[in-house]
Amino acid sequence: MGATKRSVRHMGVDILSAVRTRGAYADQLLKSTFESEAILPADKALLVELVHGTLRWRGQLDWVLAELYHRNFRKVSTILKSILEISLYQIRFLEKVPHYAAVSEGVRLAKQLGGPEWGKLVNGILRNYLRRESSIKLPEVRHDPVAAISVRHSHPDWIVRRWLQRYGESDTVRYCTYNNQRPCLSARVNLTKTSSEELIAQLQELEVTARRSEYFSDYLVLSGLVNPADNLLFQDGFFTIQDQSTALASLLLEPEPGDRILDLCAAPGGKTCHLAHLTQDRAEILAVDVNKDRLAQIGESAKRLGLSSIKVKLTDARSLSGSTFDKILLDAPCTGLGVLSRRSDLRWCKQPADLKKIVAIQIALLQNAARLLTPGGKLVYSTCSLEPEETEELLDRFLQQNEGFALAGTDVLPLQKFASRDGFFRSLPHVHGTDGAFAAALVRTA
């Protein structure tokens, strides 16, 4: 007999367990599941919702489950914990799933994966929650702001503590609230093949709703697109999926036809292809990355979008040497704490020690990028993190140690909405409704 086909909830539990035990990326696991399993579109949407929703609210779900469990909830096995989390998420946050269905599916899955005892335990905890739901009180902000915001808004306490110190209570709550919303999907229009207006109409025919970005003329905000790879317009290169915040770095570089451009840490290539489009595909662009598989995605995207000006090189950007370049984009690896809305797993995978490790890599990358810049050239440093150690503090340290560089501004009008008094550019999720991003431009003066 063949293996029993997994239900959508079973797939969700497997993904949640892999994220917790292996630090696996939820989106990659979803992608591989879509490729290996025959799943209806409606079930794909449900699986995405169950995985990302449960991950976003894991902190609060675990707090509630610990209140209901009579022993130490931390010692519960990962699979059982995932079953309880995904079941409670449906009861607590999804209006379209009847409570009895969430309970019965949870119990059935528990019996299937752990036997009758697991089934009995899951049934008891979930029904206990339904009886006690109105009496469960979350921690109050007035007693302990860090603990309360951490539980109420499902963020690790170390992140909440940092943000409270930097943004204050009101903006920290707004930031966390944004991260717990289902993120908007943005697309950059391939203007060599279509216009924004034409693409909006074409997407509408495929039951995808699109509206113009309020910041950038070649970006759209989409709804109703679960898996872009299945969309015919995407396959034909009419658009690429890219958050609006990614435009900060590309536009700040101000690339022009004829420029020799280096894109460091370029994979998977969204910004690389944007640079090619901004130069009418008439620049020399070298895209460098250390990851072979991700580097291959740049070539695939360029081919899909009809671009020919991009060359790729597999190497560590910290040791790259040779020719100098007119323009360099360093979109540095970072903690990614600016994209917690989109990367629901990331908040649980990062620790404070990760900041120190990544900053050492970032400064090494920046130092080498500076060596590869032609005198008078422009270097843009960007991250999808807003943490000071990875952004303004790192740039300040670099400028103190390198006299031949200075901070540069820009006259690009759309970027003024993201400019700050310190000369840096930031997109703030709770302010701009985009991913969080940081970008700064440096010019080589000597």
CATH number at residue 236: 3.30.70.1170
Specify the 3-state DSSP secondary structure of 253: helix
The 8-class DSSP code of residue 419 comes to B
Residues 212 and 114 placed together within one structural domain of the fold: no
In a domain, 3, yes or no: no
Whether pLDDT at 2 is above 90? no
pLDDT of residue 4: 60
Residues 298 and 379 placed together within one structural domain of the fold: yes
Q: What is the mean pLDDT of residues 293-304?
A: 96
In a domain, 20, yes or no: yes
Query: How many Å separate Cα 391 from the centre of its chain?
Result: 18
Residue linked to tokens 């991009």: 310
Whether pLDDT at 1 is above 50? no
Overall domain count for the chain: 4
DSSP 267-289: TT-HHHHHHHHHTTT-SEEEEEE
How many Å apart are CA 391 and CA 275, to the nearest integer? 22
Residues 439 and 297 placed together within one structural domain of the fold: yes
- Residue 349 is among the residues annotated as catalytic for this protein: no
**How would residue 48 be classed by pLDDT, with cut points 50, 70 and 90?**
very high
How many Å apart are CA 139 and CA 141, to the nearest integer? 7
In a domain, 77, yes or no: yes
How many Å apart are CA 222 and CA 236, to the nearest integer? 18
Residue 268: cis peptide before it, omega within 30 degrees of 0:
yes
pLDDT of residue 151: 98
Q: Are 398 and 353 in contact (CB under 8 A)?
A: no
Is the Cα dihedral 105, 109, 115, 120 positive or negative? negative
| Closest residue by Cα to residue 330 from 363, 305, 281 | 363
Of the residues 265, 273, 334, 384, which is catalytic?
384
Q: What is the mean pLDDT of residues 310-339?
A: 97
Residues 162 and 58 placed together within one structural domain of the fold: no
* H/E element, 442: strand 437-444
In a domain, 140, yes or no: no
Helix axes 58-68, 78-93, angle to 10 degrees: 100
Residues 216 and 233 placed together within one structural domain of the fold: yes
Residues 217 and 256 placed together within one structural domain of the fold: no
Residues 172 and 103 placed together within one structural domain of the fold: no
Q: Are 373 and 408 in contact (CB under 8 A)?
A: no
In a domain, 356, yes or no: yes
Q: Which domain holds residue 164?
A: 145-179
pLDDT by residue (tens digit) across 146-188? 999 999 999 999 999 999 999 999 999 999 999 999 988 999 9
How many Å apart are CA 136 and CA 96, to the nearest integer? 22
pLDDT by residue (tens digit) across 399-420? 999 999 999 989 999 999 999 9
| Closest residue by Cα to residue 61 from 49, 70, 73, 71 | 73
Residues 158 and 215 placed together within one structural domain of the fold: no
Using alpha carbons, list the distances in angstroms from residue 248 to 226, 275, 293, 334, 363.
26, 12, 26, 16, 20
Whether pLDDT at 278 is above 70? yes
Q: Are 327 and 262 in contact (CB under 8 A)?
A: yes
In a domain, 423, yes or no: yes
Q: What is the mean pLDDT of residues 22-44?
A: 92
Q: What is the mean pLDDT of the chain?
A: 96
Residues 214 and 92 placed together within one structural domain of the fold: no
Q: What is the mean pLDDT of residues 307-328?
A: 97
Q: What is the mean pLDDT of residues 290-302?
A: 96
Q: What is the mean pLDDT of residues 266-276?
A: 98
SS (H, E, C) 162-225: HHHHHHHHHHHHHHHHHHCCCCCEEEEECCCCCCHHHHHHHHHHCCCEEEECCCCCCEEEEECC
